[in-house]
Amino acid sequence: MEEFTISDLQKEMQTGELTSRECVNQYIERIQYMDPQVCSVSEINPDALDIANNLDSERSKGIVRGPLHGVPVLVKENIDTADRMQTTAGSLSLIGNIAKDDAYLVGLLRNAGAVILGKTNLSEWANFRSSKSTSGWSSRGGLTRNPYALDRSACGSSSGSGAAVAANFCTAAVGTETDGSIVCPAQTNGIVGIKPTLGRISRSGIIPIAHSQDTAGPMARTVGEAAILLQVMSGSEKKYKNIPETFDNKIGDLSLVLIKSGLAGARLGVSRNYFGFDDRVDKIMEHCIDVIKSLGAEVVDPANVDNESKYAKSELEVLLYEFQADVNNYLAQHPTAPLKTMVEIAEYNKNHKSKMMPYFGQERIEQAIKKGPLTQIKYLRALEKNIRLSRAGIDDVLEKNHLDAIIAPTGGPAWMIDLINGDNYPGGCSSPAAVSGYPHITVPAGYVFGLPVGLSIFSTAWTDWKLVQYAYAFEQATKVRNPPTFLKSVDLNSDEISW
């Protein structure tokens, strides 16, 4: 079933060539055989085969819930599932935390017929434990590696979701992002990632960093598959009245946006201030711009998104404040969580340093503990600054240039794993959309010595489906993606640049 899409699986199941149980079993066997070298899946759902059996029974009676009926999906290990799987954010300190309720998005997936196949490894505490962390490492799950070159980073924090999708351990997966944690591992692992508008997907039942930026989002090998997950997971509970209602913002028929002519008449701006960190990436981006023009879009170049440097410090300030408050709130709502406060977590890490902190520390946790309540003026001013400047940075350039969206390189090729010095990010454009709460999609664009590079498209609030439309048109015109071959290291005899 390598590279099978959701549509491929549905056709096989509709004709009786494949059952959901057989599909789930094949993915489990592939994970057991191949994932030890990637380390992307932290736990397989012990009930997955039984769930698949029930969905096969429904299909035999003519009941098909939708395109996800019987389809295996992995979810990041900071997302609650009301079953026998644990939710620990990758930390041994939360072993034993079994949720009594599904995260709201998980309930939507189950109702749509998806089989929750298992949980994916992540950068511990969603990469917000240390300023010198190594993406993809957690004390519970170990180190996730990039399936394109196993000595390279899978990025993070949704490292396992990105690597598992790329490696064909599932049809699609769910990641989470505060700033870059979906789009970076998506582009680094050569897949599609969607960081939706804040509030489109419920954040309830997810171990948090910060409610003002956290969101879940789909990760898949194609735009179409990611769109199916986005459609199913869209919607928030009524209790989140501080977030605009999202139910009226759904697309009923995906064929309205999944069209090859989707870029015709669009007006896109090029944010050149995110270029320049790698000449090879720049060349791939120039090719992308040519493709976009050939598909009927008008390109404004340059159309730079400014202000990011003005809110970098205030973004960190807000994240630290909300990290302590939101984690403490999550733990208080989970009776099986063995620890109840961030202070207890920090103490546990110190007392079990050889297991919890063998490579890097917990500076972010210690900084967060020192912060006060969310009523403090310092926090409120930093939050206001974040929202005002980040949204103005995007909205102003859109309005000034009459743009529909903005494009930029998502990042550079995966860097070497370095447990001593931590990550070495080459560059990226995640922060404006992350801090503003605006949508951002990355789609495969090319390769540097066989390592994937992605094209980012982002815009203002609630333009998620427009971005899906643009990304789909680009994807169908280029069809860049090549599956990984699990090389031990980069093949320097391969093409330096390809698309």
Among residues 92, 91, 86, 89, the alpha carbon closest in space to that of 78 is found at 89
Task: Please report how many Cα atoms fall inside a 13 Å half-sphere around the Cα of residue 73, on the Cβ side.
Answer: 36
The answer to whether the CB of 268 falls within 8 A of the CB of 238 is no
Question: How large is the angle between the packed helices 223-233 and 464-478, nearest 10 degrees?
Answer: 160
Residue type for position 266? A
Which of 91, 133, 139, 157 is flagged as catalytic?
Answer: 157
- Cα-based distances in Å from 272 to 279, 298, 429, 463: 13, 16, 11, 22
Name the active-site residue from 181, 236, 390, 430. Answer: 181
Of the residues 76, 371, 385, 466, which is catalytic? 76
Tell me, yes or no, if 123 is annotated catalytic: no
> Is 157 an active-site residue?
yes
Q: Are 73 and 108 in contact (CB under 8 A)?
A: no
| 3 state DSSP class of 445 | strand
**CA proximity to 427, closest of 211, 316, 271:** 271
Whether 314 is a known active-site residue: answer: no
Bridge pairing between strands 451-458 and 405-409: antiparallel
Residue appearing with tokens 């199916």: 228
Q: Which of 135, 199, 191, 256 is nearest to 443 (CA)?
A: 191
| CA–CA separation, 161 and 493 (whole Å) | 29
How many other C-beta atoms can be found within 10 angstroms of the C-beta atom of residue 499?
Answer: 16
Task: Give the distance, in angstroms, between the CA of residue 368 and the centroid of all CA atoms in the same chain.
Answer: 24
> Which residue blocks in 4-141 are alpha helix, DSSP H?
6-15, 20-34, 48-60, 104-111, 124-127
According to DSSP, the residues that pair with 270 across neighbouring strands are 407
Q: N- to C-terminal Cα distance for the chain?
A: 25
Residues classed as catalytic: 76, 157, 181
